[in-house]
Amino acid sequence: MFSLKKNKEFISQRDVVICYLIHKDNILFLKRGLDKFKGGMWTAPGGKRENNESLENAVIREILEETDISIDKENLSYIDKCYIKHDNFHFTMHIFKTHLNQIPQINLNTDENIEYAWASINDAKKLNLIEHAIDCLNFTFK
pLDDT tens digits, one per residue of 54-104: 999 999 999 999 999 999 999 999 998 877 777 777 768 899 999 999 999
Count of CB atoms situated within 10 Å of the CB of 80: 12
Quick one: pLDDT at residue 37?
Answer: 72
Contacts of 27 (CB under 8 A, 6+ apart): 20, 21, 44, 118, 119, 120, 121, 124
Quick one: pLDDT at residue 137?
Answer: 74
Burial of 122 from C-beta contacts in 10 A (0-12 / 13-18 / 19+):
exposed
Quick one: pLDDT at residue 61?
Answer: 97
**3-class SS at 76?**
coil
Q: Do the Cβ atoms of 35 and 112 come closer than 8 Å?
A: no
- Mean model confidence pLDDT for the chain: 86
**3-class SS at 44?**
coil
- What phi, psi does 37 have (nearest 5°)? -55, 130
Q: What is this structure's pTM?
A: 0.88
Dump pLDDT digits (tens) for 127-140. 988 777 777 777 67
Domain annotation for the chain: domains and CATH numbers: 2-140 (3.90.79.10)
